[in-house]
Amino acid sequence: RLQKTLLWIFILASIATVLSLDNGLMRTPPMGWMAWERYRCDIDCVSDPKNCISEALFIDMADRLAEDGWRELGYDHIMIDDCWTAMLRDEEGRLQPDPLRFPGGMLKLAQYVHDRGLKLGIYADIGKFTCMGYPGTTLDKIQIDAQTFANWTIDYLKFDGCYSSTDEQEKGYPLMSKALNATGRPIGYSCSWPAYQGGLPPKINYTFLGEICNAWRNYDDIQDSWDSVLGIVDWFFNNQDHLQPAAGPGRWNDPDMLIIGNFGLSLDQSRSQMALWAIMAAPLIMSNDLRTISSSSRNILQNKVLIGISQDPLGFQGRRLLKEKSQIEIFWRPLSHAASALVFFSRRSDMPYRYQTSLARLNYTTGSYKVLDVFTGETASFPSHTTEFTVSINPSGVVMWYVCPTSRWMHHEKEEGRRWKNRISSPKHHRLNTGSRMFL
């Protein structure tokens, strides 16, 4: 059955590659930092200057990405969300940043970000207003706003859908895609269109969406709670037959931001979100305070093995294989070079659960395998796919494995070792997290 599943996925991936937006961007899921979940629409820079939506906040986070080892791991986007604009357009009809909170202007901020080897993302909305009531990008303003973003050397646009009709969305999202491409500047394009239309076929044509967008929000905004994470996980995997074929290099489903390092998740729940987002081939966009983040949260977010799984060049979105009566769920994602990722996830709330199975029962083909525990760095060898094993999974936690045929293990160590060596060889490189042992 696994062989048939792999064949089906390869066929879908070939189709996805042909139909992807032809701007050469986001061949792997984007990574970075976004303001919204952690900072919302805090515009009180008088009494809360460290946390308000301002150029100072984005400069601080750009510094942290550049200086604390994030950039070298792939976290290279700084994303502005809602509430950045003045309440009125300028005399030429262009969006403009709030002059008190962004006194240097967007072009200067973009230059600061670019000088640190990072990319700058910005936010707009197809409706009359943004979700928080700032000027929207109505159909007649799409071209001027796209050109304005290009003039500011913006690298990424999140295009929301508040205060817009179905008709405006059907016209506006494709028009913005064309307008961005017409500027001649490579600008990654994230559409919120599916989230406003229920996220599923037939209302959403994911084949068409992949032709105009690099990524898209499918479902509700994430909140800083475990219940919110579970709700998103349930929706995505309950609908995986519709959503999995839509994803691939240059076109990604987006279950929303990583909330690791905030207030709502335990350590085990933080590992669970990170693992399941990697299985989904989701964008890894943090929304937290990088200035004060704990070492335990940093170790999860900077786990090189897990990031390598997330950024696997094949770009296949994973699936849920099993839901057991014991409240253990198993997720699987195929990776390059015959490898795969497995996640054993516990929905229990009582105590660690000892789950026994074999790779054969999970549809792995005949052979011997080596596995690496993504969070502990421990390795194990299975002389046969029928070898029984037991994993102990904490309540609301995960055990995540990288699984590789034994015959390919040394090949992976050499190839991925070179890849990471090249990735961190910049003279600006800072010490990387070593909380999880490298396997590659």
Which superfamily is assigned to 319-409 in CATH?
A: Golgi alpha-mannosidase II (2.60.40.1180)
Our CA dihedral for 240, 213, 23, 246, rounded to 10 degrees, sits at 20
What are the residue ranges spanned by the domains of the chain? 2-310, 319-409
Q: Which helix (H) or strand (E) holds 96?
A: none
Question: 18 pLDDT exceeds 80?
Answer: no
Catalytic residue among 42, 60, 221, 268: 221
Question: 44 pLDDT exceeds 50?
Answer: yes
Instruction: DSSP for 342-404, please give it.
Output: EEEEE--SSS-EEEEEETGGGTPPSS-EEEEETTT--EEEESSTT-EEEEEE-TT-EEEEEEE
Active site residue 221: yes
**How many CB atoms are closer than 10 A to CB 94?**
13
pLDDT at position 413 is 66
Instruction: Answer whether 2-310 and 319-409 agree in fold.
Output: no
Would you place residue 22 in the very low, low, confident or very high pLDDT band (cuts 50, 70, 90)? confident
Q: Report pTM.
A: 0.91
Alpha helix stretches (DSSP H) within 214-293: 226-238, 240-243, 267-279
pLDDT at position 294 is 98
Question: 10 pLDDT exceeds 60?
Answer: no
Active site residue 256: no
Q: Domain 2-310: which topology?
A: TIM Barrel (3.20.20)
Instruction: Read off the pLDDT of residues 166-212 as tens digits, 9 standing for 90 and up.
Output: 999 999 999 999 999 999 999 999 999 999 999 999 999 999 999 99
pLDDT at position 421 is 57
Secondary structure (3-state) at 191: strand
Question: 15 pLDDT exceeds 60?
Answer: no
Range 23-28 average pLDDT: 95
Question: 8 pLDDT exceeds 50?
Answer: no
Structure token digits, residue 117: 């080897």
What region, left, alpha or beta, does residue 394 occupy, with left being phi > 0 and alpha being psi -120 to 50 degrees?
beta
Catalytic residue among 160, 254, 256, 289: 160
